[in-house]
Amino acid sequence: MAEIILSLNCGSSSAKYQVYHWEEKKIMAKGIVERVTIGDSFIKHEVPGRDEFVEHRECPNHKNALALIIEILTRKGPGVLDDISEISAVGHRVVHGGEKFAKSVRITEESLKTFKDLCPLAPLHNPPNIQGIEAAMEVLPDVPHIAVMDTAFLQTMPATSYIYAVPYEWYEKYGVRRYGFHGTSHLYVSKRAAVMLKKGPFECNLITCHIGNGVSFTAIKNGVAFDHSMGLTPLEGLVMGTRSGDLDPAIIPFICGKTGMSVDDVEKVLNKKSGLLGITGKFTDRRDILKAADEGDKRAKLAIEIEAYRIRKYIGAYYAALGRLDAVVFTAGVGEMSPEIRGMALEGMEPMGIKIDKERNEAAHTRNKELVISADDSKVKVLVIPTDEEYVFTADVVAILEDRYDIHTNFEYSFQRPDYVNKMREEAYAKELEASKG
């Protein structure tokens, strides 16, 4: 039986990890190795109930980073394992699974080749994901490795939602279509929303709003993804921390012609120097932007207003697409922690049946509690649900190992049950309340 699961999320210069004890339903440890491949690497390691542990160690590649993670997990003092053989399996985040995968899968030579073939569709994400997989399989060759795709939950979208109005052969030959991302987050919060609404998971129409540095919205119809804001890549959609979101594609050749920049250069600017950073010129963190706006920074004020407007615009469009709406769900760092942005985004939507309670909204500032922030007479509920992508990762891995896993429409997660409680979050929220009183 699966007991201890290691989850890995390898980016271009980082390796995030979590060790989860499935039987005891608790996080044993989590952390991140930062600045992998670029120098001055270090690991930040957290164990519940202990002080954060930090160690500097050069990691010129992901194999070194994985070796460091294994060493810290088993070292006397910061470690939580007596031996690495205690790990039952490893779950890996893979950003792009294309049309090939509608659910998590065991990693084989064939599936790994498919992820490599998809690299042109996710050049910033899939290559480091693959490097992490290959490094982990070399460091931990005797355990199963499972891939959990960001795109899998969104494979239920109809062609009317995912086909672009470009030559159809681009889709047939090159796979140009809307794929969407943050699928594990949208899956988790949509299932939890159904519990909060006291409805079956496939009775709900929802708009799930994942707002962090990256931002994606999903229109969910009868419990499955119907439309999504991100596209072929995570660049399309809402205003993000450093990504532009929607724009006129003719801007790209226009700027190339004006500046002499290459298409690749402009694409990098759209991904890494646009969005809120592009508008403000210096900020990506919404807390910094809100503070600057309060102090009279006009561009900071404009940036927040643009983000709130785009959020409101997408909610309105998806409401129209769904025809009936049970709830708007906010999640991820900003969605969970920013009453200001939630309030600005939903301002003036009362005629559409979306009415927030200002006091409830102001009080909803936690990553450890599911809360209703809509007014009692709001036709559409507004929910704040802290996401838990790592739990979805772990649940998928365990179910695959136990040969009981399937696509989410044929599979019940433990967190879909009305009696499900995340004990660690419950304890953390109790401490937050106690701290606020004292």
Q: Which residues pair with 6 in a beta bridge?
A: 19, 90
Rounded Cα–Cα distance for residues 13 and 15 (Å): 7
Q: Is-contact 353 380, C-beta < 8 A?
A: yes
Number of DSSP helices (H) and strands (E) in the chain, helices first: 16, 14
How much is the CA Rg of the chain, to the nearest whole Å?
22
Q: Is-contact 59 44, C-beta < 8 A?
A: no
Q: Which residues contact 405 (CB under 8 A, 6 or more apart)?
A: 103, 104, 396, 399, 411
Give me the residue label for tokens 């399309």.
Answer: 236
135 is written with which tokens? Answer: 């490094």
- Cα-Cα-Cα-Cα dihedral sign, residues 402, 408, 410, 414: positive
Strands (E), 128-193: 145-149
Rounded Cα–Cα distance for residues 383 and 328 (Å): 6
Residues designated catalytic = 150
Of 111, 177, 97, 99, the C-alpha closest to 144 is: 111
Q: Which residues contact 249 (CB under 8 A, 6 or more apart)?
A: none
Alpha carbons within 13 angstroms on the beta-carbon side of residue 222 total: 3
Give me the residue label for tokens 């906010």.
Answer: 330
347 is written with which tokens? Answer: 């301002």
Rounded Cα–Cα distance for residues 267 and 252 (Å): 8
